[in-house]
Amino acid sequence: MTFYDCDAIAPLSYVQRYGVCLASDHPYLLGAFDRNAQSPIVSEKIKVRKIVLLGGSHIEAKKAIDRGHPFIGGITVFPDLGTFEGKGIYRNKLKNKNKNWARHAVLVVGYGVTFSGEEYYIVQNSWGDDWGDNGLGKISCELIDPQVFVDEAYVEMS
């Protein structure tokens, strides 16, 4: 269950064990980082009770979305992925798909089908709002490898 050096399970296992705070409670402010700050983080934590492996099954992945569970999907980072502006559906246009390209994890939040029957996932990328349509994009289902989702999460008071 790895994307080369990127493990899909390790971050969720960390959240399961230690929990994470909401980004809205502790926003990252560019340029405001102080390496010497020692203030404690006191807020609610999100913890994970159950992690479910999808093992590449698009059927199970779509069922997870239907139940309200976004999932982590793996995608090959072809050179044109970084310049995708969110218009239409991203499809790899390269002929050399066998090259050893890097892999990347995205959060899959939905799916759909075009009038012509092409299936796509709606993904949220970690590359910021400049990628796709404000950080979201439609990607052909054949390019996404469904990996894992959180089945049960809960809030723990610190």
Write the CATH number for 140. Answer: 3.90.70.10
Integer Cα distance of 25 and 5 in angstroms: 30
Contact 50, 64 (CB under 8 A): no
**Overall number of domains in the chain:** 1
pTM of the model: 0.75
Residue 28 pLDDT class (50, 70, 90 cuts): low
Residue range of the domain that includes 62: 2-156
Decide if pLDDT at 38 tops 50. Answer: yes
Percentage of residues in the chain having pLDDT higher than 90: 23
**Bridge partners, 110 (sequence order):** 122
Could you tell me the two tokens for 34?
Answer: 């102080």
Tell me the per-residue pLDDT of 63-118, one tens digit each, with 9 for 90 and over.
Answer: 989 988 888 888 888 888 888 999 999 988 665 566 667 788 888 999 999 999 99
- pLDDT score, position 37: 55
